[in-house]
Amino acid sequence: MTASPRSGASRIALITGGSRGLGRSAALALAADGVDVILTCVSNEAGAQAVVSEIEAKGRRAVALRLDVGDSKTFPAFAEAVKAALAATWQRERFDFLVNNAGVGLHASFEETTEAQFDMLFNIHFKGTYFLTQKLLPLINDGGRIVNLSSGLTRFAMAGASAYAAMKGGVETLTRYLAKELGARGIAVNTIAPGAIETDFSGGMVRDNPQVNAMVAGFTALGRAGLPDDVGGAIASVLGEGNRWVNAQRIEVSGGMLV
């Protein structure tokens, strides 16, 4: 059995893709709740360090590490880097929360989606989530939590998202199996499924295209597109003590898209 955190020890979250968008928002929301953060980026080192500085300004500790979630061969070395960061910054061997957030978008019809695009999405969204979680599992405390990011597109279908949504459907199924198998260690596993959010995802389509933004607002019950903090706050809430009995669930954070 993995040791539980020391009484009074700070909680630590590891967030993939934490340099921007939903990952950044989740990192800052968790820091506001008193959680320290290890965040990853694949290339946006300046953005990652800026988030570290913002977290430190809130009185919490943070570390940024490089990780390409689409390259599973690098996961053993990444786990060692996490161990080193835990020892150097927290004098700890384990962390508490894993947020599998990193990802990329693709808008292409079923007929036009290439095998290379399919493999890229598979490696990042499904294979990456599966094997990174497996590799980091020995470093997660008993009683910890895992949040996997999915998408509203697993509930409603929109042309051009077949490959992306299929990967996220796999993540949702994986979430339930992880909840079942990790329950003996007291680890809860849930899915957060955002709707259309104003970020640079898919080239900033929802944020920067007024027509797309208006379309999203039109079929969302709350009458607007989502903002990063709408999702970041939801992630922090699911990881909060008040939601400790929530497990194996898909929680859609979409403002009521297509209800």
- Kindly report, residue by residue over 162-182, the tens digit of the pLDDT: 999 999 999 999 999 999 999
8 Å CB contact between 186 and 140: no
The residues, ordered by sequence, that sit 6+ positions from 189 with a Cβ below 8 Å of its Cβ are 145, 146, 147, 148, 175, 176, 178, 179, 182, 247, 248
Asked if CATH classification 3.30.200.20 holds for the domain at 11-252, the reply, yes or no, is: no
The pLDDT score that the predictor gives to residue 9 is 84
Query: What residue spans define the domains of the chain?
Result: 11-252
Give the closest residue to 146 by CA, choosing from 185, 104, 175.
175
The first and second tokens of residue 112, run together, are: 């036009």
Residue 38 to residues 4, 23, 35, 158, 170: CA-CA distances in angstroms?
18, 11, 10, 34, 26
User: Does position 3 have pLDDT exceeding 50, yes or no?
Assistant: no
Distance CA 160, CA 37 (A): 34
Mean pLDDT along residues 48-68:
98
Average pLDDT score over the chain: 95
The pLDDT score that the predictor gives to residue 8 is 62
8 Å CB contact between 136 and 52: no
Mean pLDDT along residues 8-37:
96
The string over 205-235, giving b where at least 16 C-beta atoms fall within 10 Å of a residue's C-beta and e elsewhere, is: bbbeeeebbeebeeebeeeebbebbbbbbbb
Catalytic site residue from 132, 164, 187, 247: 164
% pLDDT > 90, the chain: 92
Q: Is 164 a catalytic residue?
A: yes
